[in-house]
Chain A
Amino acid sequence: MIEPFFLVAALLLIFMVCGIIRIVFGPTIPDRVVGLDTINTLVVAAMIILGAAYNEVIYIDVAIVYALLSFIGTLYIAKYLEGGM
């Protein structure tokens, strides 16, 4: 019997593989940044799904912290590409 939550997490991992392919083969830097941001969002979703799969409430806090911090990393790269900072 396969747990449905783990099945969803495995599906999200397949999407993460697509994002890493974009990072590896992306011809320009903005392609790679968009791939990284996609992986960020998918990791947050996978953390919430796995928190439901492990049946632990405290694991959701990690996803909240991660959703806040991954935004800052993308923001720094975007500010550098803009030429400001």
Chain B
Amino acid sequence: MAAAGGGWAAVCHKFRTARTLSAVESRKDPETEPYRSKYSARALLQEVKQLLSAAEEGGEARLLAVRRAVLEYELGVNHTDTEELSAGEEHLQRCTQLLEPHRLSPDCVSLYIQAQNNLGILWSERDEIKTAQTYLESAEALYNQYMKEDGNPPLDPSEHFMSEEEKLTDQERSKRFEKAYTHTLYYLAQVYQHLEMIEKAAQYCHTTLKRQLEYCGYYPVEWALNAATLSQYYLSKQCFMESRHCLAAASVIFSQAGQVPSAEDNETEQDQQDLRQRKAEIARCWIKYCLNLLQSAQKLLEDNIGELDPDRQLELKAQRKKEEDEKEKGRKKAVLFGTSDICDSVLAMEEKVSSVYPLDFQEAREIFLVGQNYVQEAKEFFQVDGYVTDHIEIVQDHSALFKVLAFFEEDYERRCKMHKRRIDMLEPIYADLNPQYYLLISRQLQFELADTYYEMMDLKVAIGNRLEELDSHTIKKINSLAQLAIKYYELFLDSLRNPDKVFPEELEEDVLRPAMVAKFHIARLYGKLITSDSKKQLENMQTSLEYYTFLVDYCEKYPNAVRAVETELELSKEMVGLLPTRMERLRAKLSPFI
């Protein structure tokens, strides 16, 4: 047998060179010839293949088949890497055919799984996701079956071209095998995502992260960022326990990044800045966590006019006592990250903030404070100079935190002060912002400022209603808040005008509701303005009527709009019916002698 002795050593050497060329050298290829090393590797692999065929006679059939399968696999990967899919597919198919009878044996299982992985990739590149799915799912099944029936660390494909003394340790074998399987799961996550099986995709992403931790195959910063991002998926599903777990793990793993000295140990300023940015990004994920938890609690607790419903509050408190524990413990086992000491740190991190709905001001305030701390942390990096959009988004979150905290506050005066804090943070930013480049944010700020003034005015009216008689100070305050609200709503509506200053005939779908709500609120605000001058009052009523009429007319002309503003439309219709009569009466009072 030619491949024995010195001949075999030469074959092994060629094979190893090919692998090094492909995996290591190819990274250094010039940009003008990106595949140079891959092409040389391919040539070497072909040579090895020829040598093997020459040695065929007399060799043991099974051994030869497996070796040939390894070569077919390498050639398949090589061709797909260099954008030659059809050739790649042929080689990979040949590899799996050769291995088919032995796929459950320890010397073949890993190679078989990796070949299936690569076939999965190949078919996804042809936009045939379903075909990709079958290959990957069969790889997953094979892993599970092997682990159940055998479970010993299987041979790594590269070992087929190694001499006895070079062979890997069991520990190394196991590491490589598990890594191949982690890749299967990661590819499946993508396949499920493309097939819009989102929940399943998320579960596979979670498992991939988990396995990366278990087998130490991760970069702390990257891992932390991925976990933080996954937490945002759970947020959108209202799974606060899972979300918090991901965030706590992200924070814990991120803190490792600072401790491990980087490869060259001469961290540039750029690296430092990157690290600070990542930290701020994770902080922003925490902010969203606090915000969502508070807002979801508000949704549960509010009555039909958006105030805290005390009956509901009592009911939820009783319910929480009953069920909170058992339910979550079962779920928790399934998603826990990390081995013991990481796990302990993660749990300690979790304890700093609740993952159940806050039901009163005290509980809400604790979550608010955590969120506010992260706001400060995030702002340290995302300063307005250089990071306009990010900075403003953080300020908007801060404002939203205050808004939802105000919901839990019973004292109207103090609630009003919270809204004033929002104004104080938003108004100066808005004043500086150039809408030519930041039109969207600019509109958001206009609307939010308008809404905040509107809310403050409502609170002042409520406070005033408790008094025997409205004093002139309160009246002044109410009127000025109303005027400011009107000002910002009008600014928002003006931003919708075209360059010739004309308000659009038909509103774009994405601004339809806000525009209509702005019109509706302006109508109400004119109705609320307090004046002792009857003529002025009549004018205000007239303006109010015009805005209500706009809503009614618009919806008549564009019936599609009705859906977006049902309640507002109903009330507007009512007012359009009522106001003229009221105005008539007022006119009669003004000129009683006509």
Do chains A and B stick together as partners?
A: no
Chain B residues near A (Cβ < 8 Å): none
